[in-house]
Structure 1
């Protein structure tokens, strides 16, 4: 906040000198030639003024009268009078009016600067304390305004909800009292009159009517305006005389009295709800995101230390097998690992908010839009308990409001039109939120009129966005996506709700800025569905990465960008690498993928054999290519440290980290590396294409059992492929386990669980198990199979009717072969049951 110095003089030339001589980056100089204007300004901005300088003799006022008029609300502001002469009598009057000094003309600005650096700085320290106190009040009270809005809307649907009315009154009373305590004047005065209206409702002097509800909402909006002004460093005080007139309306008319849909049950249910809330209410404090980011950084450092210590402990354990002290150390480190992982999880959770907090304002948006457009629309929300990162909540706060307003204005018809079309008079907008894989999915669906492809095409032609030939080649989904073009709108006229064509453009840009996508499905006459796919933000510092090396150099590849790892042997695998115009192309799974060597791009020496290559295929937003490395190591969580300013210009590196025994590794920026290697990137083309091909292809990890062939698991469930020695297995009862990546991995004999194998031998006496590590939620499980084949890709849907038992989802057609698809979730949820049955059988 920039504090002000007020200068008052009837001569404009003098005011110009003030502005020039007192100009400072720390303070703002505000000048007035009219005393009445100055008085009004000081009244509204007393909380941000550090000094007032005033001429003594002016045409309609003198300095004494000016000071006297502002004394009631500005007595603590240092006030200096500029005069050519003053005597003892004037000095006595100056003391009575708390005037700090008289300054003789001509003005000595060195003396003014001394006053500002002494008395002004004292005033500044007081104002800073007051500002902190007021902003703290605003931060703590702001959630009350959101709660008040919900209570008003509750009263609109249930006018006899006494508990809502009582809570409403209590919140207003709290705001009034607290704002007065922190030294504010206009907010307490305004809230007092606002409170009178709520008191009249409480006492039954007036009834809840549409007019009352509208006034309550207008009053709330004015309070929000004042809160926002203070929060953004604007005015602290306001002229509320005009604002208060809204409460002078006659509310005695019963023409628009609201009636509850179910008067008999509303009060009791509200009472129960209030009691339940009071029981579970917890004390909360506000914490800045900056503090949480610092905690996240410390958590990242802890992760690096944890990994280093665990590696050292494993070496000691191998070196001193059977040493009891080493075993105790390992057990202690295991516990430390659990605590640090829990700490990291909790810090991440602190950054999250409930979707319910994002849904709350939408009810008001729907209400106001319906009132403006004479429509009747119900809003239904699902997934309010889902918690998302604050960065995503900021995106959704704006995006959902624009999409909802767009749906109300363009999507859903007025009641008369809906009835003629055979629909319910009341429209419906549904919002669903859920997590799917590494993404947060938000679906906004309405049962309105849907999108008219021909109308969108006509508008695109009118705006010269595309030619007719280009539009004719586009799919319907691609046509729908044109509504996100800047300035694009099919509205016949601009309204307060929508029609300017800027809101949807902002929705797209805000979603794509966080790496998300928007998909649209619409059917004319039936409605539209917008699907927002937002990637769950990974930790700013902690990256799960694939460790690779080239020569003596270590590199990290973000695991989420690693598509596949390929070991290429020229003699065995044939000619799958082709030279094209000086570059290399990898032919893999029917695709041609650019292939580059890290050693060639970064000009470092490689130790790899030419007959055999380790290839990592990477894929992300706007790129897919393959890189050749010498060795592929393990997967680790690393902390990515920012590069120094001298290296920031190297786009192929995201940062650096320490691995192993303190060795340094560079974290590759795969998008920047692609540009460095002259691999063409086209994010927009891929984005647009996904509108057409969204969810059409499915990938499956194919394998055989010892007695059955042609089985598969959806690739999205697969984490890694492993081989484990049977001798390393441990058992709890009859359940097999193995120590895996600092955790315990249950090993499931899927063939036996599905009833394909009746052998009593554990894992058919195999010495080495081939295991597909799959995930369910945050847990991992090992599925034992006999022969892992390849990844199959198909556009066919799973046929669920062909399943012959629990644990098999159905079949799918891949490369002209019928493949059985395992129901991974069912097997995991039930893998203990056969073991329990065997125990019962043995007991019998």
Structure 2
């Protein structure tokens, strides 16, 4: 059976199960006596094992099988939850994640899992009770039985479980030995034909030699296949004998007693079959009857949900978004034509189309929205490990994980958040003894919060640590020649805090794996600003710090104010605008060689865009100036333009690599009349 059609679903569901294991393991560490958490991890591992086995990824299946043994021992109170055990299971999950990632990138999903399986087995053996000599004799007899049994094939524990469960469901187990003729020219082709014939009658569990060797013709003329099927022995034999260049076919039907696992733990007697391990159509799809759906449990339990949701490749959504962007451009063109012709019927039709396309726009943008928990859910594990490396006690609290952001922003925001969290853990939170001496709880607290505000999403990282020392930051900034000494006294606390975003800045006393090289926070600032966002810092010595990130909900379609400068048109994002104003020439003042105005009691510098963008002057303006007041954080500026055209939704288009470094221009758009308008980057202007 071709499993390629299930690959995408397998990858997505595997990632979900691995993430579930990660989250529940963290819970288990906090509540080691809660067996309901162990059961949740067991279910995820069990389902992942069944899926992997069905898809043919043996390393995945074997590793999850060994994880099951550990979890099962915990459920039976043969093992107690310890930090060492959690660490090893986390290591196993890391391997699972690597293998799934390999599969998603087109790899074979193989990994060297022998070491981690050995570690899992050592934990399993080291904590189980010592069995009696009588039980050891039983185990030895079982091993001897394996060596002397009539079966030509040796099965590991996992394959043994599959065969036992298949037998319980009414399937017969056959060992089929096929001998090819000595003069057979294309042995691999004959093997393929045999496999194809057998797959039409049942499910192949194992081949000896393995499939890879058979494909490379690394065998003499004989190979053995283990098949589970409901067909009669004669039917199977007839299917194979139809293939030419086959000399002999031997089929033996194995009873349950004749199938024994090769790997038999000397330290534990054979376990009784458990209800959770039995092959049911609601759980493990490891037989011929169940390969159509490798997670039948979800198929039956979530039928209603599956009818309401569907997985869509993000590339398809990108294509849909691009097509809609073209529609937005044409919508603007139609609105312009409607105004020019002044035809009532055309005007009504265009107005209706604008309303419908506006609704469509909201639906498409919502389709692209992804909860930030897809980024947040990897942080608890990271914080746990970092806290242990730093010998600190840290509790991470996540608030607002359901807050949604555009997928494009989600893909970019992960690394900046990692840097900020590592910074909070290393520089912010103190060690337990220092916190105790200061009258604080030994366990530090970091809050990762996300929430909507207007057309923006805010993500905050707050800690109750040491805070940022103004003097220490200024000392380092002067030493690194980021600011001159004479400028230090005139800086506000906010301006001092922003110095830590300078390239090469670090207050760490020594370089470590976690920090100290002065890279990280400058990358954070650049990445966030490239997304049209901003980052600010508030801090109080001894109380802690808050890093606040402001991000746009979406990047591709934005609302702007169109302005005119001579014969050219520019677009200023509404998210940056405070208000617009008309000022007289005499209202303009001079301060430190800079033209400024008094705006509601604040001194706001003026930037004349025609000078900044070197726009050719064809006519002089009157004594009145049109000004757009824009803001970035607590800084403001007045952009002087010739005229206001109006508000419009536009499609943001990149200028391409050739024009990537144009000052204060973040992109361009095509207007309704066919003109190109450049989009002003207010962040760059204020900076």
Name the TM-score class by shorter chain: 0.5 to 0.7
- In structure 1, the residue matched to 2:552 is 536
Whether the 8 Å CA contact 2:428–2:466 is kept in 1: the answer is: yes
Q: After TM superposition, give the deviation of residue 352 of structure 1 in Å.
A: 1.9
Bigger mean CA deviation after superposition, 428-437 or 633-642: 633-642
Aligned equivalents of 2:506, 2:585: Cα separation in 1? 55
Whether the 8 Å CA contact 1:640–1:667 is kept in 2: the answer is: no
Q: After TM superposition, give the deviation of residue 350 of structure 1 in Å.
A: 2.0
Please give the per-residue CA displacement for 1:526-551, whole angstroms capped at 9, x wherever unaligned: 2222222x230544255544264856
Please give the per-residue CA displacement for 1:597-643, whole angstroms capped at 9, x wherever unaligned: 5999544755x8x65756343647699564553x6444333446678
From the superposition, tell whether residues 170 and 284 of structure 1 become closer, same or farther in structure 2 (CA, over 3 Å): farther
| Secondary structure of residue in 1 paired with 2:22 | helix
Please give the per-residue CA displacement for 1:345-402, whole angstroms capped at 9, x wherever unaligned: 1211222221333332222122222233333222222222211122332343222322
- TM-score normalized with structure 1 length: 0.52
Aligned equivalents of 2:509, 2:571: Cα separation in 1? 54
From the superposition, tell whether residues 567 and 360 of structure 1 become closer, same or farther in structure 2 (CA, over 3 Å): closer
- In structure 1, the residue matched to 2:321 is 296
Please give the per-residue CA displacement for 1:316-354, whole angstroms capped at 9, x wherever unaligned: 9x867xxxxx59x94x77665443222211211222221
| Secondary structure of residue in 2 paired with 1:155 | helix
| Secondary structure of residue in 2 paired with 1:384 | coil
Q: Summarize the alignment of residues 433-452 of structure 1 with structure 2, pairs less than 5 Å apart.
A: 433-452=450-469
1:209 aligns with 2:219: no
Whether the 8 Å CA contact 1:354–1:385 is kept in 2: the answer is: yes
Whether the 8 Å CA contact 1:653–1:666 is kept in 2: the answer is: no
- In structure 2, the residue matched to 1:636 is 648
1:657 aligns with 2:659: no
Aligned equivalents of 2:459, 2:310: Cα separation in 1? 29
Whether the 8 Å CA contact 1:409–1:497 is kept in 2: the answer is: yes
Whether the 8 Å CA contact 1:617–1:625 is kept in 2: the answer is: yes
Whether the 8 Å CA contact 1:547–1:636 is kept in 2: the answer is: no
1:362 aligns with 2:375: no
| Secondary structure of residue in 2 paired with 1:669 | strand
Q: What is the aligned counterpart of 2:52 among 179, 193, 206? A: 179
From the superposition, tell whether residues 179 and 333 of structure 1 become closer, same or farther in structure 2 (CA, over 3 Å): same
Aligned equivalents of 2:375, 2:495: Cα separation in 1? 29
Aligned equivalents of 1:454, 1:373: Cα separation in 2? 25
- In structure 2, the residue matched to 1:111 is none
Q: After TM superposition, give the deviation of residue 442 of structure 1 in Å.
A: 2.0
1:667 aligns with 2:677: yes
Q: Summarize the alignment of residues 290-689 of structure 1 with structure 2, pairs less than 5 Å apart.
A: 290-306=315-331, 330=348, 336-460=353-477, 463=480, 465=482, 468-532=485-549, 534-541=550-557, 543-546=559-562, 548=564, 557-560=572-575, 564-567=579-582, 573=584, 575-576=586-587, 589=599, 591=604, 593-595=606-608, 601-603=614-616, 605=618, 611=622, 615-617=626-628, 619=630, 624=637, 626-629=639-642, 632-639=644-651, 654-659=667-672, 663-670=673-680, 686-687=686-687
| Secondary structure of residue in 1 paired with 2:451 | strand
Q: After TM superposition, give the deviation of residue 207 of structure 1 in Å.
A: 3.1
From the superposition, tell whether residues 391 and 303 of structure 1 become closer, same or farther in structure 2 (CA, over 3 Å): closer
From the superposition, tell whether residues 454 and 575 of structure 1 become closer, same or farther in structure 2 (CA, over 3 Å): closer
Aligned equivalents of 1:576, 1:502: Cα separation in 2? 45
Aligned equivalents of 1:618, 1:360: Cα separation in 2? 39
Aligned equivalents of 1:597, 1:544: Cα separation in 2? 19
Whether the 8 Å CA contact 1:655–1:666 is kept in 2: the answer is: yes
Aligned equivalents of 2:666, 2:479: Cα separation in 1? 45
Aligned equivalents of 2:440, 2:653: Cα separation in 1? 58
- TM-score normalized with structure 2 length: 0.62
Q: After TM superposition, give the deviation of residue 133 of structure 1 in Å.
A: 6.1
Q: Which has the larger radius of gyration?
A: 1
Please give the per-residue CA displacement for 1:288-318, whole angstroms capped at 9, x wherever unaligned: 43322222222233334445556777899x8
From the superposition, tell whether residues 602 and 131 of structure 1 become closer, same or farther in structure 2 (CA, over 3 Å): farther
- In structure 1, the residue matched to 2:290 is none
Whether the 8 Å CA contact 2:448–2:462 is kept in 1: the answer is: yes
From the superposition, tell whether residues 309 and 456 of structure 1 become closer, same or farther in structure 2 (CA, over 3 Å): closer
From the superposition, tell whether residues 379 and 281 of structure 1 become closer, same or farther in structure 2 (CA, over 3 Å): farther
Whether the 8 Å CA contact 2:365–2:554 is kept in 1: the answer is: no
Please give the per-residue CA displacement for 1:251-275, whole angstroms capped at 9, x wherever unaligned: 56599xxxxxxxxxxxxxxxxxx9x
Aligned equivalents of 1:366, 1:471: Cα separation in 2? 35
Aligned equivalents of 1:297, 1:493: Cα separation in 2? 48
| Secondary structure of residue in 1 paired with 2:674 | strand
Aligned equivalents of 1:402, 1:457: Cα separation in 2? 22
From the superposition, tell whether residues 145 and 310 of structure 1 become closer, same or farther in structure 2 (CA, over 3 Å): same
Q: After TM superposition, give the deviation of residue 667 of structure 1 in Å.
A: 0.7
Whether the 8 Å CA contact 2:85–2:123 is kept in 1: the answer is: no
| Secondary structure of residue in 1 paired with 2:442 | coil
From the superposition, tell whether residues 655 and 468 of structure 1 become closer, same or farther in structure 2 (CA, over 3 Å): closer
Whether the 8 Å CA contact 1:598–1:628 is kept in 2: the answer is: no
Aligned equivalents of 2:441, 2:89: Cα separation in 1? 30
Q: Summarize the alignment of residues 786-825 of structure 1 with structure 2, pairs less than 5 Å apart.
A: none
Aligned equivalents of 1:518, 1:584: Cα separation in 2? 27
Q: After TM superposition, give the deviation of residue 656 of structure 1 in Å.
A: 4.8
- Greater length-normalized contact order (CA 8 Å, ≥ 6 residues apart): 2
Q: After TM superposition, give the deviation of residue 196 of structure 1 in Å.
A: 1.8
Bigger mean CA deviation after superposition, 219-228 or 502-511: 502-511
Count of residues paired in the alignment: 508
Aligned equivalents of 1:600, 1:207: Cα separation in 2? 69
Aligned equivalents of 1:623, 1:668: Cα separation in 2? 21
From the superposition, tell whether residues 254 and 443 of structure 1 become closer, same or farther in structure 2 (CA, over 3 Å): farther
Q: After TM superposition, give the deviation of residue 130 of structure 1 in Å.
A: 7.8
| Secondary structure of residue in 2 paired with 1:188 | helix
Whether the 8 Å CA contact 1:556–1:666 is kept in 2: the answer is: no
Aligned equivalents of 1:653, 1:448: Cα separation in 2? 37
Structure 2: runs of 5 or more not aligned: 130-297
Bigger mean CA deviation after superposition, 392-401 or 489-498: 489-498
Whether the 8 Å CA contact 1:547–1:635 is kept in 2: the answer is: no
- In structure 2, the residue matched to 1:73 is none
Whether the 8 Å CA contact 1:177–1:188 is kept in 2: the answer is: yes
Whether the 8 Å CA contact 1:186–1:240 is kept in 2: the answer is: yes
| Secondary structure of residue in 2 paired with 1:301 | helix
From the superposition, tell whether residues 649 and 593 of structure 1 become closer, same or farther in structure 2 (CA, over 3 Å): closer
RMSD (Å), alpha carbons: 4.4
Aligned equivalents of 2:478, 2:506: Cα separation in 1? 12
Aligned equivalents of 1:445, 1:426: Cα separation in 2? 15
From the superposition, tell whether residues 654 and 460 of structure 1 become closer, same or farther in structure 2 (CA, over 3 Å): closer
From the superposition, tell whether residues 218 and 638 of structure 1 become closer, same or farther in structure 2 (CA, over 3 Å): closer
| Secondary structure of residue in 1 paired with 2:92 | helix
